[in-house]
Structure 1
Amino acid sequence: MEMTSLGWTVLPLAILAGAIRVSTPFIFVSLGESITEKSGRINLGLEGNLVLGAMSAYAVSFLSGSPWAGVLAAGAVGMLFGTLHGLLCSVRRVNDTAIGISLMVLGTGLAFFWGKPFIEPKAPSLPTIPLGFWTDIPQVQSALDVNVLFFVGVALAFVLRIFFNRTGWGLMLRTVGDSEDAARSLGFPVLKVRILATSVGGFLAGVGGSFLSLSYPGSWSEGLSSGQGIMAVALVIFARWDPVRALWASLLFGGAGAIGPALQGMGITGFYYLFNAAPYVLTLAIMIASTSRVQTFTDAPGELSLHR
């Protein structure tokens, strides 16, 4: 998108528009992981859900002609992998981290294998809402074309905060995540809650993947995700397991990822790859800042700190 004719005043708008686009997959994956970790379980396999969801969405959209059918397919595939993760981790002495990494490799491998026929074809894309209707400048109109899934993710963040803090189901989920013994004493079905939470988390990760292939960048390729599923786990820790904070953190990550393309649109191509590394640098900084030998997270689900 050419920005030079409009001057430097367009740079903040370009970064904002890029932040919205780049952050949308982060929003869905981080909200899904928030649900999973609230139950006391961590899913490092979300990268596999994301990539396989992106491939499934693109394939179904191409074959059916409906991008929304692709979104549902991506969510279904993500839920399948989430359920598999939940079932495997319910076996005694099975490590969540090892299972997550194994399913990440399996998901990406299946996506690459089954997705080869869909690299070249063009599938229908998800619709956008033209928030730039008030201007005649094409660049601004393009920047303010916002995908519907972004608004769904924003609304979902606030709904989940209410769910966690104001509902009986949310209380049960948090109790299971904080203390398995307390949850069992109250009669809560611990394993069922965790399996369901992991399934829902996988569903949202799959939906996040559908945005990658059906909106931005809007195609299917093997390098589509760039590790966003893994970065979302760090994002959840940074957000202190709060859905609304995860929303703002996703926008922060999205803004970091949008700096490089925005500057390139202004004609600044030097250090382009350095600016593209900003999200990864931010992830590393967050992980370092979140590590302390003397202070622990008082708001972290208690069961996450247990080693079985």
Structure 2
Amino acid sequence: MSDVSTFSTLGLWGDVAVAVLGGAIRVGTPFLFVSLGECLTEKSGRINLGLEGVLVLSAMAAFGGSYLTGSAWLGVLIGCCAGALLALLHGLLCSLPRVNDIATGIALMLLGAGLAFYLGKPLIQPQAAQIPALELGAWSSSPQVQAALRINALFPLGVALAAFLAWALANTRWGLIVRMAGDSSDAARALGYSVNTVRVLATTAGGFIAGLGGASLSLHYPGSWNEGLSSGQGLIAVALVIFARWRPMACLGAALLFGGAGALGPALQSVGIGWGYHLFNAVPYALTLLILLWTCSPRRSLQGAPLELGMSR
């Protein structure tokens, strides 16, 4: 009887599927916010490779804010503001003459990570208030299903934000201005818009959105602060944007795909399949390499890309 009660009525592979689905949402939530932030930034014609630093710094700031104030939501806001400030610095530096987006992004990635590691040392041991979870598995009597469907409360916000960005970029004046700055800076200037201002604002807004991903890491999953928290998710998000062809709703699907890949190992381990655990943990990174190889053709890599991204600045 004890063996029967170990698994839900869905069966072994049903449990794995539910665990992967829940893990896709849980692990994919930070990917979603960071990729949406980078999508908005790149739509304006700017690349921000400093997103890894933004993610780590916002995760530390969110955890510290939650710990000091006792409110997880204030912590989320503080994390978003920290991400926006670092992205603002990136935007301002890249607006200077003869400053390269890529080099600046790498420098700020190191700056953000260094600040987070230095300022976050007192936060490694303490516990902070966590973002509440949505219990979508309450309909089931299976503990496995209930645990898998315990969803980060920020995830529905990410879905709504992806839909809003997709609609706004296609149907609003500011969306048109952002896309114009990304596709033709000369056309934007001819209409009287400051391309640098548009890009700085888009980069800052992208950093604010990416800050939600950092808050998800430290205040929900895994729900703590340590120096290895990000594991390169900020850089993977850049590949996600390419894979999604700079479309916000496609970023949602790509984030869930990567989240599911990252959740595959723990899902198999949860049902007693322990072999190859570390191999399965490498799936997101292998998937990133496959995407980069698949998009290395100029015909494919530039499809859907803002035209200004292909110009040297």
Query: In which range does the TM-score fall when normalised by the shorter chain?
Result: over 0.9
Query: What is the deviation of 1:296?
Result: 5.2
Residue 304 of structure 1: aligned partner: 309
Instruction: List gaps (5 residues or longer) in structure 1.
Output: none
* Equivalenced residues, count: 307
Query: What is the deviation of 1:270?
Result: 1.2
CA distance in 2: counterparts of 1:278 and 1:24, whole angstroms: 17
Match of 1:256 among 241, 258, 261: 261
Q: Is 1:60 aligned with 2:65?
A: yes
What secondary structure does 2:141 align onto? coil
Q: Is 1:237 aligned with 2:237?
A: no
Residue 142 of structure 2: aligned partner: 137
Q: What pairs with 1:1-308 in structure 2 (closer than 5 Å)?
A: 5-6=7-8, 7-8=11-12, 9-293=14-298, 297-308=302-313
What secondary structure does 2:84 align onto? helix
Give the TM-score normalised by structure 2: 0.96
8 Å CA contact 2:37, 2:209 repeated in 1: yes
CA distance in 2: counterparts of 1:44 and 1:296, whole angstroms: 17
8 Å CA contact 2:24, 2:262 repeated in 1: yes
CA distance in 2: counterparts of 1:96 and 1:130, whole angstroms: 42
What secondary structure does 1:267 align onto? coil
Q: Report the RMSD for the aligned CA atoms in angstroms.
A: 1.3
AA of the residue aligned to 1:5: F
AA of the residue aligned to 1:119: I
Query: What is the deviation of 1:102?
Result: 0.4
Q: Which moved more, 1:92-101 or 1:138-147?
A: 138-147
Give every structure 1 segment of 4 or more consecutive aligned residues whose post-TM-superposition deviation is greater than 4 Å. 293-296
CA distance in 2: counterparts of 1:296 and 1:218, whole angstroms: 36
AA of the residue aligned to 2:7: S
CA distance in 2: counterparts of 1:293 and 1:241, whole angstroms: 16
**Judging changes above 3 Å, is the alpha-carbon distance between structure 1 residues 293 and 263 closer, same or farther for their aligned structure 2 residues?**
same
What secondary structure does 1:135 align onto? coil
8 Å CA contact 2:48, 2:105 repeated in 1: yes
Give the TM-score normalised by structure 1: 0.97
Instruction: List gaps (5 residues or longer) in structure 2.
Output: none
Query: What is the deviation of 1:5?
Result: 3.1
Identity of aligned residues (%): 59
What secondary structure does 1:194 align onto? helix
8 Å CA contact 1:4, 1:267 repeated in 2: no
Give a deviation string over 1:252-299, Cα, whole Å, max 9, x none. 000100101101111111111100000000000000001114555242
CA distance in 2: counterparts of 1:126 and 1:81, whole angstroms: 23
Give a deviation string over 1:54-112, Cα, whole Å, max 9, x none. 11111111111100000000000000001000000000110000000000001011111
